[in-house]
């Protein structure tokens, strides 16, 4: 079969992960790469058999006419890339989490994708880790009894981590839509980061099947001493009437169930293992529209709405109904609300990572 042609925009860390994994799969060929940093672009081209390259994504997309338009730019750059991907006639858009920084942008991206009828995927690829899949398997087996709670916590800050936490708990809860979210936040140091975030956010979500979601991200979130790597201190799980099961991104999995007692296993997040199945599912979906990608845009959008509703609640108070009816700029709302409310840390390592005195 002729390989699907891929254009990748943004040849940083994630762009290279995508490019090398696409080229390692016989169903794909990277035929175009784009970056505004000439040095990065040349270095990437040398590792990718010298595909067409350029610094203007729209012009390159017109020239390459890719089947897959993949962009891995920082969170501040989404809508223009979505438009370029749709306008160049690609069959599938592949892009990075988070879907958008504001609900105004998330809703407009949703409308663009739906109107174009284009397939789209968002990279929540940790789920392919064996330890994540083990927890999903236990939850889905019914061994926890009636699942009443899903939860996720990460010491890393919101725009890096919350999208992951929410997506995997939504997976555990079969992507049941949420009805409302309510949250609090503190600290403005990380609004200056390229993943702009309040330093700490925590909140609750009501899912339509009665399951409660509990999330926290950032400086005030608890340490997970079982995971050594700071960015791997994410604990994501589900509790039911007969037990719990949870994964630590860099610390394996563990469960206690009525029938099985205590069980645990190894597992560490690994891009080399997680990217190949993520990329393969794109080929499967392109080949057969019934084989919808697990990381499809509609799943990611459910999570994005929750994440943005939490922020809106933290900025404006109260419970925010879902789905969101109107767009807002949650970044601006939060920044002004949180000025003068510094975050308090849960452990000394968080103080260091957040650059606090
Ligand atoms: N899924 C995951 O596990 C995971 C892990 C890390 C990062 N991410 C996400 O991936 C995205 C990218 O992160 P990264 O660490 O690769 O960033 P990065 O800074 O390493 O790479 C971004 C690249 O985009 C380029 N760029 C910026 N504007 C451009 C433009 N107009 N046209 C072409 N290129 C442009 C930059 O020059 C840079 O090379 C972020 O959204 C981040 O949240 C996801």
Q: What is the pLDDT of residues 174-224, one digit of tens each?
A: 999 999 999 999 999 999 999 999 999 999 999 999 999 999 999 999 999
Q: Averaged over 288-308, what is the pLDDT?
A: 98
Is the pLDDT reported for residue 357 higher than 80? no
Predicted confidence band of residue 1 (pLDDT cuts 50, 70, 90): confident
Whether 216 lines ligand 1, by a CB cut-off of 6 Å, is no
Rounded to an integer, the average pLDDT of 60-75 is 98
Q: Residue 82: pLDDT above 90?
A: yes
Global confidence as pTM: 0.98
Chain position carrying tokens 């060929």? 29
14 lines ligand 1 (CB under 6 A): yes
C-beta 77 within 6 A of ligand 1: yes
Instruction: Specify whether the CB–CB gap between 31 and 7 falls below 8 A.
Output: yes
- 150 CB under 6 A from ligand 1? no
For residues 330-344, give the mean pLDDT: 96
Instruction: Say if ligand 1 is within 6 A of residue 34 CB.
Output: yes
- At residue 183, the pLDDT reads 98
Nearest to 17 by CA among 37, 47, 38: 47
Q: Would you say the CB of residue 97 lies under 6 angstroms from ligand 1?
A: yes
User: Rounded mean pLDDT of the chain?
Assistant: 98
Mutate to test the pocket of ligand 1, among 16, 17, 18, 35 (most ligand atoms within 8 A of CB): 35
Find out whether the beta carbon of 12 lies less than 6 Å from any atom of ligand 1: yes
**Residue with the nearest Cα to atom 39 of ligand 1?**
12
Residue 17 has pLDDT above 90, yes or no: yes
Bridge-partner residues for 353, per DSSP? none
Q: Are strands 178-186 and 234-240 parallel, antiparallel or unpaired?
A: unpaired
- What average pLDDT score do residues 289-299 get? 98
Task: Enumerate the β-bridge partners of residue 235.
Answer: 153, 248
In this model, does residue 133 exceed pLDDT 90? yes
Compute the distance from residue 12 Cα to the ligand 1 centre, in Å: 5
Could you give the C-alpha distances from 335 to 11, 103, 186, 308, 311, in angstroms and in order? Answer: 30, 15, 10, 14, 10
Q: What integer pLDDT is reported at residue 291 of this predicted model?
A: 98
Give 303's pLDDT tier (boundaries 50, 70, 90). Answer: very high
Q: What token pair was written down for 28?
A: 């794909």
Q: What is the pLDDT of residue 38?
A: 97
Comparing CA positions, the residue from 320, 152, 129, 116 lying closest to residue 236 is 152
Whose Cα sits closest to atom 5 in ligand 1?
14
Q: Which atom of ligand 1 is nearest to the CA of 271?
A: 3
Specify the ligand 1 atom closest to the Cα of 125. Answer: 1
- pLDDT of residue 116 exceeding 80: yes
Nearest atom, ligand 1, residue 80 CA: 31
Ligand 1 touching residue 123 (CB < 6 A): yes
> How many angstroms separate the CA atoms of 137 and 163, rounded?
21
272: confidence class by pLDDT, cuts 50, 70, 90: very high
Which pLDDT value is given to residue 204? 98
**Angle, helices 103-116/79-87, rounded to nearest 10 degrees:** 10
- Please state the atom number of ligand 1 nearest to the C-alpha of residue 37: 37
């Amino acid at each position: 079969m002729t390989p699907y042609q891929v254009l990748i925009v943004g040849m940083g860390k994630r762009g290279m992960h995508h490019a090398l994994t696409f080229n390692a799969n016989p169903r794909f060929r990277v035929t175009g790469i784009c970056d505004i940093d000439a040095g990065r672009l040349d270095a990437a081209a040398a590792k990718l058999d010298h595909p067409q390259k350029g610094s203007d994504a729209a012009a390159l997309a017109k020239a390459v006419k890719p089947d897959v338009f993949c962009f891995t730019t920082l969170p501040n750059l989404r809508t223009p890339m979505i438009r370029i991907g749709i306008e160049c006639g690609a069959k599938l858009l592949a892009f990075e989490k988070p879907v958008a920084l504001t609900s105004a942008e998330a809703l407009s991206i949703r409308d663009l994708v739906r109107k174009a009828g284009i397939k789209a995927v968002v990279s929540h690829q940790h789920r392919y880790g064996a330890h994540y899949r083990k927890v999903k398997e236990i939850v889905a087996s019914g061994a926890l009894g009636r699942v009443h709670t899903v939860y996720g916590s990460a010491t890393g800050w919101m725009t890096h981590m919350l999208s992951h936490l929410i997506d995997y708990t939504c997976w555990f809860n079969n992507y049941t839509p949420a009805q409302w979210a309510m949250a609090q936040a503190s600290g403005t140091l990380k609004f200056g980061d390229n993943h702009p975030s309040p330093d700490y956010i925590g909140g609750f979500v009501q899912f339509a099947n009665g399951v409660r979601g509990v999330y926290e991200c950032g400086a005030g979130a608890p340490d997970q001493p079982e995971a050594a790597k700071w960015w791997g201190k994410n604990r994501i799980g589900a509790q039911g009437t007969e037990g719990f099961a949870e994964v630590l991104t860099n610390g394996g999995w563990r469960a206690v169930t009525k029938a099985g007692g205590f069980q645990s296993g190894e597992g560490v997040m690994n891009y080399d293992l997680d990217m190949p199945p993520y990329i393969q599912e794109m080929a499967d979906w392109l080949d057969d529209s019934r084989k919808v990608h697990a990381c499809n845009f509609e799943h990611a959008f459910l999570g994005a709405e929750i994440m943005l509703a939490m922020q809106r609640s933290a900025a404006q108070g109260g419970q925010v109904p879902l789905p969101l009816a109107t767009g807002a700029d949650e970044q601006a709302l939060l920044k002004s609300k949180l000025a003068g409310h510094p975050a308090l840390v849960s452990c000394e390592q968080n103080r260091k990572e957040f650059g606090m005195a």
